[in-house]
Amino acid sequence: DLKYVVGMFRRFFAQEGLSRVLRAITQQKTATAKVDMPASDLKFLFDVLDEDDDGTLSIKEMVQHGALEVHEALYLSERLDKGQDGEISLAELMSLVTGHVGSEFVDSMKGLFAAKR
């Protein structure tokens, strides 16, 4: 079934993207790590991995859907979770390419990615 194959490809792409994010953060070991990935790719991987559509990536989603080990997901959350709520928001993930997190940035991203899923 073509829909199944496309879904698997989307999942694989998102998993690879999350692995790239993890590698970038691990290698840079700075408070302001950057990842060489377009914002559109980060948005895509976020949308694919956010299975419950709550606007955040939980440890469970990063492990079950993002193919990370638990300790890797915990490390990502520790490094990116500025809100200290145990989950990674899109704005927190986007800080890897923009260098800042805030409502102004989130508002600007809404227009850029207004297309429906």
The rounded percent of the chain whose pLDDT value lies above 70 is 79
Q: How high is the pLDDT of residue 66? A: 78
CA distance 114 to 110: 6
pLDDT digits (tens, 9 = 90+) for 55-103: 999 999 999 987 899 999 999 998 888 888 889 999 888 887 765 444 4
Which of the four pLDDT bands, split at 50, 70 and 90, describes residue 105? very low
Maximum CA pair distance of the chain?
A: 44
Number of CB atoms found within 10 A of residue 68's CB:
22
CB 72 within 8 A of CB 78: no
The rounded percent of the chain whose pLDDT value lies above 90 is 38
Instruction: Give yes or no for residue 30 having a pLDDT over 80.
Output: no
Q: Which residues contact 30 (CB under 8 A, 6 or more apart)?
A: none
